[in-house]
Amino acid sequence: MTTLFKSVTIIDASSAYHQQQKDILITDGIISKIEDFISEEKEYNVIKRNNLHASTGWFDTSVCLGEPGYEERETIQNGLKVASKSGFTDIAVNPNTNPVIDNKATVEFLIYRANKSATNLHPIGALTQQSKGAEMAELYDMQQAGAIAFGDYNKPISNDNLLKIALLYTQNFNGLTLSFPKNNAIAGEGVANEGKNSTLLGLKGIPALAEELQISRDLFLLEYTGGKLHIPTISTKKSVELIKKAKENGLNVSCSVAVHNLFLTDDELYQFDGNKKVNPPLRTSQDVNALIKGIQNGTIDMITSDHNPIDIEHKKVEFSNAKDGTIGLETAFGILNSILDLETIVNCLSKNPKERFGLQKTTIKENEIANLTFFNPEGTYTFTEKDILSTSKNSVFLEKEIKGKVYGIYNNNQLILND
């Protein structure tokens, strides 16, 4: 199959064609030509779109899919379709399924179920057995089966020695250890950011200290053990400062931030909408500004949608009883495009996460494998439930203004475009 993309503005700082408008010809999954003009042959599948832009394919490092066990929330098949149409050629899938992804067989199951899809699925294996935080899981076996990192999704490792051993053990096979930044003893039964809004609304608060104390512990352990540590979805100003200092001191640490923590604050809680209950919680405007600055200065390596489908029975309830989580694949680009420049977005959705998680790096040049995301950065619209592709509808961004549009992806010799 030969596909011709006409008048494409290329966003790829590693490419000689960065910020240039070119025609791109792809033949059997390989970029065969990039030229100012390529004639349209009758055997070509010609793609023309308004203000068409392309970058290397995006990679989301934190995606939850219900299957196995919670198929009513999302299936692997539909979740991959959502990812493709949201611009993601690769997703890392969290182990919070039933059973938990904590052994070689369950890792192989995920990979098998995603076989031949346009979007690549990369399992994250649980760091501990059944994600209970007590005993370390079969990390090496899972890595051999295809797991790209190890962590218990949204569950902190409270046992200091267990994390120490994991950081030491994973060095034997260059494994990446994830540690969720939350001290449960400090967070207690909190459901929202501790501050003015939680007090006025009568909601139990989660202090920023709960996150920062855990990060400080993790960084001390990393300094002692060596190894590779990734801290997912940080949310506070002090967290950015701690990680910045650790990097300056030469520690091998990376971190991510969720899209919603870059855009929304705890001012959203006044409607007591369960869709706004996320973990970590929505913080203050000072935190949001610090997180954005952390992205711009390179302290924060990557951005994730932290896509977490939750069925209506667990969301349309009293705020304190609602399960944490929001879907986010469909809105990730449109939200980021309203607050960051395109080159920064592409670095945080493509280059940086692929390097950290050990995925194959690609660039936009001739004779390269076609791993591409297509989008239009212009135009705005209001995101409503009819725009949701996921099975679950728990979006924190309902009725928010979105800037830009994702057209789709080309990956694994497959073209997936939105209607």
Active site amino acids:
306
Q: State how far the alpha carbon of 311 is from the alpha carbons of 46, 165, 299, 386, in Å.
A: 39, 36, 35, 17
Residue 173's CB: how many other CB atoms inside 10 A? 10
The H-assigned helical ranges of 348-417 are: 352-357
Q: What is the DSSP letter of 70?
A: -
3-state secondary structure of 265: coil
What single letter denotes the amino acid at residue 178?
A: L
The CA distance from 215 to 201, in Å, is: 28
Closest by Cα among 63, 74, 55 to 305: 63
DSSP 203: P
Return the closest-CA partner of residue 39 out of 84, 67, 4: 4
- Which residues, 6+ apart, have CB-to-CB distance to 199 below 8 Å? 205
Q: Exposed (0-12), middle (13-18) or buried (19+): which is 78, by Cβ within 10 Å?
A: middle
Rounded alpha-carbon distances, angstroms, from residue 182 to 186, 217, 317: 8, 11, 24
Where helices occur in 183-325 by DSSP H, the ranges are: 184-187, 196-201, 208-225, 237-248, 259-263, 285-296
Element (H, E) at 142: helix 139-145
For residue 419, count CB atoms less than 10 angstroms from its CB and return exposed for 0-12, middle for 13-18, buried for 19 or more.
Answer: exposed
- Cα separation of 344 and 336, whole Å? 10
- Residue 263 burial class via C-beta count within 10 angstroms: exposed 0-12, middle 13-18, buried 19 and up: buried
Burial of 43 (0-12, 13-18, 19+ CB in 10 A): exposed
Tell me how far apart the alpha carbons of residues 203 and 237 are, in angstroms, rounded to a whole number: 22
